[in-house]
Structure 1
Amino acid sequence: QVQLAAGAIERAFADGLTRQTILFALLPEGDAMTELQQWPGGAKQMSREAAVPISEALLREVRAESSTDESKRMAGLPPKVQTQDIWEFDGSSIVTSVSSSGPSGDVQAMVLPNTDMKYVNDIKTMDESMGDKRLFLLINPFWRNLDSWGFNLLAPNAQKIAQKNIFDRGFGNETYALNRLSVRGEICAALKAYPYDWQMFVFLEDEYYTNVEVPILLGSSKEEPTSKQFEELINELPEFKLSKNMRQMQRVMKKK
């Protein structure tokens, strides 16, 4: 995921998008993409085992030099990556990439922010400190859109403030996203990498290797694909004429 996301981020940055949202499929190191994690330890476990490690790896890869100085843009030394907790109990963090070419190439990312007004205000503060030319990312925020800010007696203007501090600033630009879902008992994935359309995949058991599943491209979609779209495309494939359980039983019978 890291290389795909880094490429998408850099293409978007080259097109002038300095505020971006990244949605990784969060999974611990060693887990297969076809395993849908439950995270019994909540956001703190999610952060420790997946969100922070992949965010740090991402910022080691991304190069977003805003300087027009060619020598600075071509500097090849890797950046220094630093991580700081925001609130330890909810797993939120700030990951910073300090560029070897100077401050104009620094990148910041806020990991696992939620709809609490603290994060909305922190995003505003960081946004202002980064300026319009440097890259600032939100990674796996706990909201889907502006409707996630429902009415709150303690913060009656929360939705308006979120609109101004987040969406009006460009964080509605989801330049990389990998969503996994189960459709008809099959594990599916929807991948978006700027500037391309969503790509739709379904996983099928490998013919030769046990416990290995390979992705099959189903098609593409301008908008984020729905479960219904996946189901319709899966039903058209002869490989999925039988359910997953039936295919597994069939393989067992063939081995006998």
Structure 2
Amino acid sequence: MDKNSEEFLQVHDMLIRYSYSNVKKVIKNFKHKLGEGCYGSVYKGSLRSNNEVAIKILKQSKALGQGFISEFATIERIDDVNVVQLIGFCFEGLKQALVYDFMSNGSLDKLIFLRKKIYEITLGVARGIEYLHQGCEMQILHFDIKPRNILLDKNFTPKVPDFGLMKLYPINHSTVSFTTARGTLGHMAPKLFYKNIGGVSYKVDVDSFGMLLMEMVGRRKNIHADAEHSSQIYFHYGCTTKLMKAKLLKWKKLRKRKGM
């Protein structure tokens, strides 16, 4: 185990530390898998207190060791009703895990087409993103705001989780530099498509939040791979195309009325 990482974790001892063997017991030896992402898999478990938890088992890689420390150091200081709460962790060399409160209503993508509490949910997501941008010691850019990454607790209170792609930078900085794209197609800001990204700001998360709103209001997934036309593949591009066509039609009618 990296000596510096271990010293860091011993100093930051506010959270419960679990052994890897205990983690396996809690999740009943990987019995109930909730999902999988590029940084690891999430499993449902139950503590001795009968409290249900979601445990993210990170992929075994030396390169992810510092990523774990970065994510841990950030999340342990977060305290907001609309951001997922970290309650414990495991760090045994390449065996790393993060323990969160379990969200009984799952992710927003499973309920995206429902009208239930749509205002409260979108407002809660917005407040969670605002907290990451302005409520912490460091600004936190999430880079992957999408329905699948918004969790709902038993009261349908939305929580922003999954900081695998996050980037931290000082509050007084307006931009942060990047050389590679981050995020999910259909939700990432258009600026992140370009090869030479340069400086980006919190607005990339605001763009992604806008895509999320379009999905909820339009009741249609942002990505439709089987669409007939390329402009229909991404919902927001399709909306832009329709808007331009409507303006063009209006302009033609106006010219016709004036006899031009």
TM-score, with structure 1 as normaliser = 0.25
TM-score, with structure 2 as normaliser = 0.25
